[in-house]
Chain A
């Protein structure tokens, strides 16, 4: 019975991972391999020429760099803004508090893709196109993060806050010495999710950049332009260049990543 289970699971995993295996294998194909019939699974000759061609593309590394900057910058800003907002909601009572919360909550109801055109015009008039800030700006509002962080801050025992206040600590110290350390697992998981989301974003960077040195890797890969000629080799190589380190990272950091991703759902 157990063997049966193992066999099924193995088959399942192999099927799910097939696209990844194929990507890696195809990165070694020659042009003729791509148009061979019947289609090939392994290359006819081991050659790294596709990798050469991908890397020699003037802007490939730049695209990667742009995506990384976007992920880091976006995540940092987004978390900071969410953190501040949640702190305000959790620690203060002020007029219009509920109204403000409702305003923020309301943004969740409208799909951001439909606001694409208008937001583009706004950013254009602000002269933020082709600019890192412009790339991340529409993703900086993370209302679900605000909700989660607020819940967390509310769950911190009041006594902790009071002790700190009595000692004369202002908001800065409270955050620095108490909240940040306490919430770091939660922040880590939110950061990871934000980073993945920024790294994967496609439509907004597509619309907002027309300078080649500001493209992100998601757009850049589709624009490497090799696929037009049925010569997919450099394309697969380009994908593999990002894929391989990511796979290695995932394998080694699996436990940490899993913990990070599931932590915040304990609060749902």
Chain B
């Protein structure tokens, strides 16, 4: 009997160990170190109380990076959802042709993250890239605020195609045919069909995709790093990329830790609020 008592803990041990060593320990350590000045190789020097936070807020780079991130998310999430929805609606009906289209929309997944960023970097090169050339445009995709943000947006839309498309497509295809039939008999047109029938029925998957889209766009780091390197004058410097620059380029470890601490507080607040919101909702229903 005693053996059984230890077993579950043993099975859980690796996971718990990882959680402590690689999540909670760095979390707390980062939080604490945000109140210290940090030396060349990461060792804590002096207790400086809120000095790091003050430095962080004294310049508008932090606010700017939050703004850049939000602005990106606001454009990205709806565009992403609509594009993928549109593509999956087009492929919904299974046929010989749809197999071809499905594969097509699925292929962006074959190009790995950094490869895609590098390819786009050349495609959108203002002087030598094909986009400007073939479309007879003269937009500066890397060195202008609007241009850089749009090329970044297009890159991320491309990157997100693979898996989300498949999910949405499967969700659409698993809609109960009888419901669709009934609606058709009632004379529903395409618009009503999509908006009033299909979308509500795939709500869980759709919510999941939207949620992941929001999460990914808020945390985005690698595409701006490779495509625009923060954009002209930090115009594509997202929050986490700003953190990366602070720590790995400017060696302002203290300020980097401060940003982390703020992000943690934000995450905790959001999840607490979400919990409160959920329970209230259910209480209302009950």
Whether A and B are associated in the same complex: the answer reads yes
Could you tell me which A residues sit within 8 Å of B by CB distance?
5-6, 8-10, 12-13, 16-17, 19-20, 22-23, 26, 34-41, 81-82, 84-85, 87-89, 91-92, 94, 97, 100, 103-104, 106-107, 109-119, 121-122, 137-138, 140-141, 146, 171, 196, 199-200, 202-203, 207, 217-219, 221-222, 227, 230, 232, 235-236, 239, 242-243, 246-247, 250-251, 254, 258, 261-262, 265, 268
Residues of A near B127 (CB, < 8 A) are 37
9 contacts between A and B (CB under 8 A): A8-B90, A16-B87, A20-B107, A41-B130, A84-B12, A103-B24, A250-B110, A258-B166, A265-B205
Whether A122 contacts B90 in the complex (CB less than 8 A), given A222-B114, A261-B166, comes out as: no
Residues of A near B110 (CB, < 8 A) are 20, 243, 246-247, 250
- Number of residue pairs across A and B with beta carbons under 8 Å? 237
Residues of B near A94 (CB, < 8 A) are 5, 8-9
Whether A22 lies near B106 (C-beta < 8 A) is no
Could you tell me which B residues sit within 8 Å of A by CB distance?
4-5, 7-9, 11-12, 14-16, 18-19, 21-27, 29-30, 42, 86-87, 90-91, 97, 99, 101-116, 118-123, 127-130, 132-134, 158, 161, 163, 166-167, 170-171, 204-205, 208, 219, 221-222, 226, 240, 243-244, 247-248, 253, 256-257, 259-260, 263-264, 267-268, 270-271
Whether A117 lies near B113 (C-beta < 8 A) is no
CA distance A82 to B14 in the complex (A): 9
Whether A84 contacts B106 in the complex (CB less than 8 A), given A113-B243, A117-B253, comes out as: no
Residues of A near B97 (CB, < 8 A) are 6, 9
Whether A115 contacts B26 in the complex (CB less than 8 A), given A19-B158, A171-B7, A258-B170, comes out as: yes
For the complex formed, measure the closest distance between the CB of A34 and the CB atoms of chain B, giving whole angstroms.
7
CA distance A31 to B23 in the complex (A): 47
Residues of B near A39 (CB, < 8 A) are 128-130, 132-134
Residues of A near B256 (CB, < 8 A) are 117
CB-nearest residue of chain B to A235? B118
Residues of B near A82 (CB, < 8 A) are 15
Whether A243 lies near B12 (C-beta < 8 A) is no
Residues of B near A106 (CB, < 8 A) are 19, 23-24
Contact of B16 among A23, A41, A100, A232 (CB under 8 A): A100
Whether A17 lies near B104 (C-beta < 8 A) is yes
Contact of A141 among B23, B42, B113, B268 (CB under 8 A): B23
Whether B111 lies near A19 (C-beta < 8 A) is yes
For the complex formed, measure the closest distance between the CB of B31 and the CB atoms of chain A, giving whole angstroms.
10
Whether B18 lies near A13 (C-beta < 8 A) is no
Whether B102 lies near A254 (C-beta < 8 A) is yes
Whether B90 lies near A9 (C-beta < 8 A) is yes
CA distance A119 to B163 in the complex (A): 29
Residues of A near B167 (CB, < 8 A) are 261-262, 265
For the complex formed, measure the closest distance between the CB of B201 and the CB atoms of chain A, giving whole angstroms.
14
Whether A88 contacts B11 in the complex (CB less than 8 A), given A221-B115, A254-B102, comes out as: yes
Residues of A near B118 (CB, < 8 A) are 221-222, 227, 235, 239
Whether A23 lies near B22 (C-beta < 8 A) is no
CB-nearest residue of chain B to A138? B22
